[in-house]
Structure 1
Amino acid sequence: MIDKMIPALLAATMLSPLAAGAAMAQEAPAKAEAATDEGDIVVTARLRAESLQDVPDSIAAFSAKDIAAAGIDQIQDIADMVPNVILRKGFRSGESNITIRGITSGRQGWPPVAFVIDGVKATSIDAMEQGTLLDVERIEVLKGPQGALYGAGAIGGAINIVTRKPSQDFEGRVQASYARGNDIKLSGGVSGPIVADTLFYSVSGYFNDTDGIVKTANGTGAVDARQQKTGRARLLFTPSDKLSFDLRASITDSHGAAPGTVDKIANAALVDEFNTAANPGPLRRKGFLGREERRLVDVSLRSEADLDFATFSAVLAYQDINQSLFGTVNYEGGPAPANRTLFGAATYGDAATTGQVIDEFQDLTDNFETYSADIRLTSKSDQRLRWVVGLELARRLSYTHLGAGQLVAGPSVSRTYLLDRWDRKLDKIWGVYAQASYDITDGLELTLAGRYDEDNYGNTRVTDPRTDTPIKVTDPAGNLVDTLKAKDSAFTPKVQLAYNWTKKIMTYATYSEGFRFGFFNSGNRALSESTRNYEIGLKSQFFDNILTFNAAAFRIDYSNQQVTQTIATPPFRTTTNIPRTKIMGFEADVALQATDKLRFSGGIGYTDAIVQNAAKTRAPFTPKWTANASMQWQEPVSDTLDFVSRVDYRYQSGMFLRVNEVFPIKDKTFIDARIGVENDRYSAKLFVENLLNTQQALSLSPFAGLFSRTFSPPRSYGIEVQYKF
């Protein structure tokens, strides 16, 4: 059904606004990209433009000024500035494992948050990693289940990113930076009208080339060397003040050393030891630096129409991600054989003779091709009853390759595959949703929302993607079949009461449910998971908006938590479900505009996630405490030039990297700083990231008699300049 409906929706995207004879760009989008007259950030968390302080949800929002001041250009930067949110980079550049209020990612599965850029939702964890964020106007991080509007992937929340629309007048910018590791970044863009008041464009590009700063011990290079190129273009067509079509396209190509910031340790007790007497140096001796290739293509078309009684919008999107990684396992250089191997045979490195094993290797592919469509009707905002109804469809085809084997010496080096597994996965998803908010009195608002989602998905083991010939497998009933099939579906409701005690003080209470589809991981099926969320919150502003204070407390009953663990034997990874987890917590954030020149902001989060087993162990990847603080100071040094500085602080308490409270890591503190001068056209800033040079293990896996871990990058510093015209 979905295969037939998506082409029809393409026509609907184009023709429905024309048939209606009118359109409007989502409730005056120019206003939605700025602040209100009173200075509040405007968000579209409930699929309409509203003041941040008027939305009864826990939301961290960053305006364009915040983004520029903090130097936010990666998804990692977003997570690092929000309490109760952490992001752990994997050994692949496209792998970002995010945890929000104790709800985290499972490898090869669905993200725990809806990650949305300009109305287009990412349909895989890999799609969250965009490489770099360009021309961002606003970022919204919604915490707590958002499935009633955003669907099955929003079990932990949603991240909504809005980019800058093409401008009515010609303008542009260029930016360059140079940092440690010969890290060169160049970016820029132009925007303006093609036809005055009717057709507008924007084009931007990004280039990054770095030699890396995490060197191998034997001088063969850096494991974090990388190059990335990104190009993006956008056309906005507004044939009338009530009609708009928005076409976006982007492509990102990147490649670099593999498997990235990964090293080996002799035993798990050293997981949190970096450059200590117990672990004086990482085992990163590489005779051959592996290589990773990644290409991401995004195309979307959005049309919007004002039907007098409501706004019609339709978004059709296509995304194609191609990723491959090849890296060696044991090669430490030198003549001594390695006896800690994946497949039990000694490896001889550069001392290998004909027929002997030089090293073992891993050969991975993770490709995703997705078509999606979302159409909705949204009522006007200036009425007592406000509502939205919508339909969403998606079709995702993916190929994953899990290969491992031996490099054998001879006249030419040959590969012998001892594990060579291809899986073809197909997901067919549809969902319908509705939300209504009603002002019972001038101060009391009732919101009711609900959504039904369904995924029919299958996993076929194939010989290779060129022939797609299936390999018979055994289903749970013991039958030999071509494809393992499954179906997950759920209805996720939300009920909320919000009361405005004054124009600047509001409290709310929410009951909501979350849901995430199950998935196949190399033939191993992880079951779907669900949550029940109970939350109370406060939003407040004082002293003519000088002080903002927001807080929320929550309880989450979590069922079938998906957890992926790496194991030491083929297929080297497995996903299981934790039957029951109980999560209790709170978060609070404050912003103080102390003077016209000085601003403070900060937040604190507490999450107590306990697995409901006999031992009552803590859930993995979930620190109890997180805290953030920022200080921003701007001081004029002349009539046309300002001195600017900003410091960002992040604290994260200890956590566990695997289930059953094994492999703990300690508390961590991170500090970033920026200082420089700027005016309306020029800026020059010095920056340092991870000032304290804090290193943290992000994952830990048993690996050929050793353990491998991924870890956060060390300190980096540099200079950044920008010119606007």
Structure 2
Amino acid sequence: MRIFPGATHTLAHTLCAAGWFFTGLGVAPGLTFAADSNEQAVTLQSVTVSATRREEPLQKIPVAVTVVNGEQLERDGRNSVSSIVQQVPSLNFRTGASNKDTSLFVRGVGTISTSPGVEPTVATVIDGVVYARPGQTTLDLLDLDRIEVLRGPQGTLFGKNASAGVMNIVSRAPTTETHGYIDQSNFTGNESRTRFGLGGSLIPDTLTGSFTAMFRTYDGNVDNQYNGQEVNGYNHKGARGKLVFTPDDDLTLTVIADYMQSHDDAPNGVVVQSLTPGFGNALAPVWASSDNRKINTDTRSRVADINKGLSAQLDWNLGDYTLTSITAWRGWDNTQYQDGDRLSTITADFPGSADKGDLTFNQYSQELRLASPKGDFLEYVGGLFYMHGKDDETYQRTLTTPASVNRGVADYSTTSDSYAVFGESTLNFTPTLRGIAGLRWTHDDLKYDHRRVSTSATAVTGIQPDTSSSGSVDEDGWSGRLGLQYDLTDTVTTYLTYSRGYKGPAYNVFFNMQPRDTGALKPETSNNWELGIKTTAWNHRLTANVAVFHSEYDNYQANFFDTVAGQVVTRLINAGSVSTEGVELDYALQATRQLKLSGALAYTHARIDEFGCPAGAAASCNVNGKPLPYSPDWKSYVRADYSIPLDNGLDVELGTDYSWQSEVQYDISQNPDTKQGTYGIWNASIALADYTNGWRVALLGKNLADKSYSPLLATGGSYIYRAVPRDDERYFGVQLRKEF
């Protein structure tokens, strides 16, 4: 086992400090405290998670997990998966002009690809249902209870395999008491967010239900100088319903349906640097700069997206055993329009380029799990999993020059079937010593069809000539976990685990696919070692979790920048071997009855060990020893919440948080122009609440230091462009909530 220099020394001091001072609790910004009316005890409320497919205390499970409280996310105005990465230092997110281009990274590892022929490295699970495509997970989160971020390979307990981690999202369960709420937020920049919900008992002791809906609109924070319009905004609406049927004490059936419709108009990159004088002149009157929020384009980049699904989970108590069945369907429709040239004029040097892509994706999944009773020498969870996915896409590119118009149209599809048997057991050797053993067998079938036609018999800028191909591949993969867990005291537990990760084969299926892209990528495998400690101290007022990890990946599936038909594209390849290692700390402190402190810190040394340069690569392959993209070495989050009870039954609530990260490289080819420097974001809020009468009003301030940053930097050949985040500049908002 290879650990980065100084890790042993760092770990010893960190674990010692944690053992004396803290209890691990993830980020925990939304935790409440428990108080005894007589002794006036102040403690942090314990957190229960389902990361091990059982409801268990976070402090007792031998897994590195960060938990983010759903209520606090709602109060902070964080409504999507992408918005929580500031609070979870081990988690990063790649954005883009279309949600089809997004992906998650855990401990520096993730997959960057728009190809439907590759599965995500970090799996997203919402209420037990695995989402097969990364772009599906950008939807707005409704009725959220908590988000659990599991770090490291997962697969012995989850339906779909994940070689780097899992984001497990859990919504609130309906209650028997009838209740409802309406939440209205308005922010500068003409942004409005409305949420309302209603729930309660429909049939006494038998059926409960809940319904939640939301509407969100935003004009945007990027100005198009061509027509004076604001872009980079959105228009979202959706609803989610849940029914829980309990005919007796041994049977529970949960049915969930959701529908989300989104219209976004994020520009296809805002130019921050012109690499040639000619492009700089063509971009005028916009002038490139690191904090540029202006474009000059005659084509409006936009995305229309529909996410929908239906699931049924059956939990059946068979004596002391529990049988769980999760049956689900999800549909995803996505249409995107993108301005490829990012200019408003057409010249011989800079022809016009416009794209339109249509995607239809459907997935069907079935999971069966059996959980043994707790308390025996042997405890286990075992299961079967099947997922079928079918993707159909049409992508069209139009190239316009002063002398001609050329068009290329590609129709392509992928079909995937994944079968798995998985399980994990705990052997209780003594009351304080436990063994952990898990194993998974996965069989993947993947096939694709691709056909492109072009009006030009030869390659023109951004369009390859006619071609067609198809292929299929099937692979078997093994993954698993072994470890030991030892309780030093009743409030301190330690664990050491080894995990084997597996990610299935892939195809690089995209518009400009060529004969060199028709071969299947090999499965990605990983070996992960993790040493952790979870502690509780100071009468349950202080908590901390520390994890030290080292992971090695072989046949790493990654995108590498290349030039195809005169246009910069990304090619999905088996990039070789990479490794990531580091230390993570999550902590929370109930300092007084009124004051809570919490936060997280991660050091992640994610590097390319040996890069396999693809034939004909346009970018430099001299990247061994360089950082993996989207992986800052250091990232942290701190938060403070202070409440002031007033004599008239009102409460004043003060909150502030600060997230910080070191320099990050966004390009695996190590382009010096695609680095984002060190930056920090400071947010704060003040609220007045009357919980007896069920209302709360808050003033929120975002990015109070007015720091501009880029969550994405990429090259367009003759320029560098960036994505502009919502909080690229200081803004404020008012949030009103009424419960009834």
Alpha-carbon separation, structure 1, partners of 2:302 and 2:587: 44
Counterpart secondary structure, 1:127? helix
Mark the CA change 1:549 to 1:405 in structure 2 (over 3 Å): closer, same or farther.
Answer: same
- Which position in structure 2 is the counterpart of 1:698? 711
Match of 2:527, as an amino acid?
R
Counterpart secondary structure, 2:259? strand
Is the Cα contact below 8 Å between 2:685 and 2:701 reproduced in 1? yes
Alpha-carbon separation, structure 1, partners of 2:138 and 2:63: 25
Mark the CA change 1:224 to 1:171 in structure 2 (over 3 Å): closer, same or farther.
Answer: same
Larger mean Cα displacement after TM superposition, 289-298 or 322-331: 322-331
Counterpart secondary structure, 2:654? strand
Is the Cα contact below 8 Å between 2:157 and 2:381 reproduced in 1? no
- Which position in structure 1 is the counterpart of 2:59? 53
Count of equivalent residues: 652
TM-score by length of 1: 0.85
- Which position in structure 2 is the counterpart of 1:636? 645
Q: Specify every segment of 5 or more residues in structure 2 that has no aligned partner in the other structure, as ranges.
A: 1-30, 35-42, 280-285, 454-466, 611-621
Alpha-carbon separation, structure 2, partners of 1:659 and 1:165: 42
Alpha-carbon separation, structure 1, partners of 2:725 and 2:200: 40
| C-alpha RMSD of matched pairs (Å) | 2.8
- Which position in structure 1 is the counterpart of 2:356? 363
- By how many angstroms is 1:463 displaced? 6.8
- Alignment identity in percent? 23
- Which position in structure 1 is the counterpart of 2:527? 532
- Which position in structure 1 is the counterpart of 2:199? 191
Alpha-carbon separation, structure 1, partners of 2:260 and 2:71: 26
- By how many angstroms is 1:261 displaced? 5.6
Counterpart secondary structure, 1:77? helix
- Which position in structure 1 is the counterpart of 2:311? 300
The alignment status of 1:428 with 2:417, answered yes or no, reads: yes
The alignment status of 1:178 with 2:186, answered yes or no, reads: yes
Q: Of residues 681, 688, 692 in structure 2, which corresponds to 1:677?
A: 688
Match of 2:680, as an amino acid?
T
Q: Of residues 63, 73, 82 in structure 2, which corresponds to 1:67?
A: 73
Alpha-carbon separation, structure 1, partners of 2:290 and 2:44: 55
- By how many angstroms is 1:483 displaced? 2.5
- Which position in structure 2 is the counterpart of 1:376? 369
Mark the CA change 1:646 to 1:260 in structure 2 (over 3 Å): closer, same or farther.
Answer: farther
Alpha-carbon separation, structure 2, partners of 1:621 and 1:193: 46
- Which position in structure 1 is the counterpart of 2:666? 657
The alignment status of 1:620 with 2:629, answered yes or no, reads: yes
The alignment status of 1:80 with 2:86, answered yes or no, reads: yes
Mark the CA change 1:262 to 1:393 in structure 2 (over 3 Å): closer, same or farther.
Answer: farther
TM-score by length of 2: 0.83
Mark the CA change 1:216 to 1:375 in structure 2 (over 3 Å): closer, same or farther.
Answer: same
Deviations 1:438-478 (A, max 9, x none): 210010011111111121001101479xxxxxxxxxxxxxx
Match of 1:691, as an amino acid?
L
The alignment status of 1:512 with 2:509, answered yes or no, reads: no
Alpha-carbon separation, structure 1, partners of 2:61 and 2:290: 49
Counterpart secondary structure, 2:157? helix
Counterpart secondary structure, 2:53? coil
Larger mean Cα displacement after TM superposition, 658-667 or 497-506: 658-667
- Which position in structure 1 is the counterpart of 2:138? 129
Mark the CA change 1:634 to 1:486 in structure 2 (over 3 Å): closer, same or farther.
Answer: same
Mark the CA change 1:260 to 1:224 in structure 2 (over 3 Å): closer, same or farther.
Answer: farther
Q: Counterparts of 1:263-282 in structure 2 under 5 Å?
A: 263=271, 265-267=273-275, 281=292
Deviations 1:665-705 (A, max 9, x none): 21121122221112321111111222333333333444363
Is the Cα contact below 8 Å between 1:151 and 1:451 reproduced in 2? no
Alpha-carbon separation, structure 1, partners of 2:349 and 2:331: 38
Counterpart secondary structure, 2:111? coil
Is the Cα contact below 8 Å between 2:144 and 2:171 reproduced in 1? yes
The alignment status of 1:440 with 2:429, answered yes or no, reads: yes
- Which position in structure 2 is the counterpart of 1:707? 720
Is the Cα contact below 8 Å between 2:71 and 2:144 reproduced in 1? no
- Which position in structure 2 is the counterpart of 1:394? 387
Q: Of residues 569, 577, 580 in structure 1, which corresponds to 2:574?
A: 577
Larger mean Cα displacement after TM superposition, 280-289 or 184-193: 280-289
Alpha-carbon separation, structure 2, partners of 1:282 and 1:161: 33
Match of 1:40, as an amino acid?
S
Larger mean Cα displacement after TM superposition, 592-601 or 139-148: 139-148
Mark the CA change 1:279 to 1:360 in structure 2 (over 3 Å): closer, same or farther.
Answer: same
Is the Cα contact below 8 Å between 2:356 and 2:395 reproduced in 1? yes
Alpha-carbon separation, structure 1, partners of 2:57 and 2:732: 36
Alpha-carbon separation, structure 1, partners of 2:249 and 2:293: 61
Alpha-carbon separation, structure 1, partners of 2:294 and 2:44: 56
Is the Cα contact below 8 Å between 1:34 and 1:42 reproduced in 2? no
Is the Cα contact below 8 Å between 2:272 and 2:289 reproduced in 1? no
- By how many angstroms is 1:212 displaced? 1.1
Alpha-carbon separation, structure 2, partners of 1:291 and 1:53: 44
Q: Of residues 143, 149, 155 in structure 1, which corresponds to 2:151?
A: 143
Q: Of residues 584, 587, 603 in structure 2, which corresponds to 1:587?
A: 584
Higher relative CO (CA 8 A, sep ≥ 6), structure 1 or 2?
A: 2
Alpha-carbon separation, structure 2, partners of 1:603 and 1:331: 39
Is the Cα contact below 8 Å between 1:402 and 1:421 reproduced in 2? yes
Is the Cα contact below 8 Å between 2:449 and 2:469 reproduced in 1? yes
Q: Counterparts of 1:36-51 in structure 2 under 5 Å?
A: 39-51=45-57
Mark the CA change 1:485 to 1:276 in structure 2 (over 3 Å): closer, same or farther.
Answer: same
Q: Counterparts of 1:69-108 in structure 2 under 5 Å?
A: 69-107=75-113, 108=115
- Which position in structure 2 is the counterpart of 1:228? 236
Deviations 1:315-361 (A, max 9, x none): 0000010001113334644xx644553xxxx4xxxxxxxxxxxx320
Is the Cα contact below 8 Å between 2:347 and 2:401 reproduced in 1? no
Is the Cα contact below 8 Å between 1:330 and 1:338 reproduced in 2? no
Mark the CA change 1:481 to 1:227 in structure 2 (over 3 Å): closer, same or farther.
Answer: closer
Deviations 1:141-174 (A, max 9, x none): 1111112222554211111111111221211010
- By how many angstroms is 1:259 displaced? 3.6
Q: Of residues 456, 459, 465 in structure 1, which corresponds to 2:445?
A: 456
Is the Cα contact below 8 Å between 1:366 and 1:400 reproduced in 2? yes
Match of 1:420, as an amino acid?
V
Is the Cα contact below 8 Å between 1:589 and 1:604 reproduced in 2? yes
Mark the CA change 1:257 to 1:423 in structure 2 (over 3 Å): closer, same or farther.
Answer: same
Mark the CA change 1:185 to 1:71 in structure 2 (over 3 Å): closer, same or farther.
Answer: closer
